[in-house]
Amino acid sequence: MKIKKIETQFEVYDDVNELPKDVSELMAEAVKARLRAYAPYSKFLVGAAILLDNGEIITGNNQENAAYPSGLCAERTAIYYAGSQYPEAKIIRMALIAGSVKNKTTMPIPPCGACRQAISEYEINQDLPIDIYFMGESGEVMRSKSLSNLLPLVFEKSVL
């Protein structure tokens, strides 16, 4: 038996004001997208903004449904739209903001496991790390320079 250790790394910014201007502008798009979320059941609103290498910015938010599992997270709403509209484009960066309308969320909220899995497929396909910033409604912003920091032991298509 041997033990394997995996190290993962994040940057933490005090708040959005500490971000480079282009990143805070992308986060501002995620903030706007979050406010358009359709989340009447969870009251948990999530916004995503994606910068593509062709300059396009794609936004998305969570879309819920009375048949609960039929809803979709913000990250996948946005990334699937990007993939469907711009299949040749590479994803440079994602900005994510999440928080409940019931209580103010001030700690960074990372994407759920299913979204990490979905994002990883795009990162692996494009052979370029996706830079991911995520935050709560306010407060610290965390940065992962690659999706792989968020999902070190990925299940990927090469095993199929």
The DSSP H or E segment spanning 125 is: helix 113-126
Place of tokens 């494009």: 126
Among 115, 119, 130, 142, binds ligand THU (CB under 6 A): 115
DSSP state, residue 110? P
62 part of the interface to ligand THU, by CB under 6 A: yes
Choosing from 7, 18, 25, 75, the catalytic residue is 75
39 part of the interface to ligand THU, by CB under 6 A: yes
Distance (Å, whole) CA 97 – CA 139: 11
Q: Give the chain's length.
A: 160
Based on CB atoms, which residue is closest to ligand THU, 21 or 154?
154
Among 19, 49, 64, 136, binds ligand THU (CB under 6 A): 64
Six token digits for residue 106? 């001030």
Near ligand THU in 116-155, by CB under 6 A = none
Q: How far is the CB of 152 from ligand THU (least distance, A)?
A: 18
Ramachandran bin of 43, using left for φ above 0, alpha for ψ from -120 to 50, beta for the remaining angles:
left
Distance (Å, whole) CA 141 – CA 30: 13
Based on CB atoms, which residue is closest to ligand THU, 30 or 115?
115
List of residues contacting ligand THU (CB under 6 A): 39, 42, 44, 46, 62, 64, 71, 73-75, 111-112, 115
Residues involved in catalysis: 75
